[in-house]
Amino acid sequence: MRHRAGVGITEGTDAIVIVVSEERGAMGLAAQGRLRTNLDEAEVRTRLRRMFQLGDGLRDIEPPAAPAGSEASAERQAP
């Protein structure tokens, strides 16, 4: 039922839906009325990154890097 709902939501919108099976723990990814099933975490991440790169110009689903000179960027550069 969740898989059909996930696909249905994406048919008339630009939504991307991640579907997780409670019984099996398997993940699926729905977009543009189509569903890919039995994906592992790495494949879901890869597909999402590709979708966002091709879609609205978003380059990644990760938070943007901290500006240079900020404490957060200094922490990232520390060994």
Half-sphere exposure in the Cβ direction for 10 (13 Å, CA): 19
Strand partners, 20: 27
**pLDDT tens string 43-78:** 999 998 888 886 554 343 344 455 666 554 444 444
- The DSSP code sequence of 12-59 is SSS-EEEEE-TTT--EEEEETTEEEEEE-HHHHHHHHHHHHHHTTS--
Q: What is the pTM of this model?
A: 0.59
pLDDT, residue 71, reads 54
Domains in the chain (CATH in brackets) are: 2-60 (3.40.1700.10)
Q: Which residues pair with 4 in a beta bridge?
A: none
Q: Max alpha carbon distance in the chain (Å)?
A: 49
